[in-house]
């Protein structure tokens, strides 16, 4: 009779450290994407935003969506 055994090792200290580093890098990339998108949209005039179909009230939501997709 055959037995299947899961021998996946649990992450040790260095594995957890690498996961922490990766998580911090993802958060940093998301924060940068948010800031870049927010700043670029804020710098546009009302006319330019209207041409894009965006109001000033929508800028934060658009920046948050861009950050989630980063």
- The answer as to whether 61 is a domain residue is yes
Give the residue numbers spanning the domain of 50. Answer: 22-69
Euclidean distance between CA atoms 51 and 65, whole angstroms: 20
- The answer as to whether 12 is a domain residue is no
- The answer as to whether 51 is a domain residue is yes
- pLDDT given at position 66: 95
Residue 10 confidence (pLDDT) above 70: no
- The answer as to whether 16 is a domain residue is no
Mean pLDDT across the chain = 90
Residue whose C-alpha is closest to residue 31's, from 59, 67, 69: 67
- The answer as to whether 3 is a domain residue is no
- The answer as to whether 4 is a domain residue is no
pTM for this prediction: 0.76
**Which of the pair, 19 or 42, is modelled with greater confidence?**
42
- The answer as to whether 45 is a domain residue is yes
Give the count of domains, the chain: 1
pLDDT in tens, 29-63: 999 999 999 999 999 999 999 999 999 999 999 99
Residue 3 confidence (pLDDT) above 80: no
């Amino acid at each position: 009779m055959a037995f299947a055994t899961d021998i996946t090792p649990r992450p040790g200290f260095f594995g957890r450290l690498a996961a922490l580093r990766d998580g911090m890098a993802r958060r940093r990339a998301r924060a940068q994407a948010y800031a870049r998108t927010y700043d670029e949209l804020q710098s546009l005039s009302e006319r330019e935003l209207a041409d894009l179909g965006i109001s000033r009230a929508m800028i934060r939501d658009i920046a948050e969506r861009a950050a989630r997709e980063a």
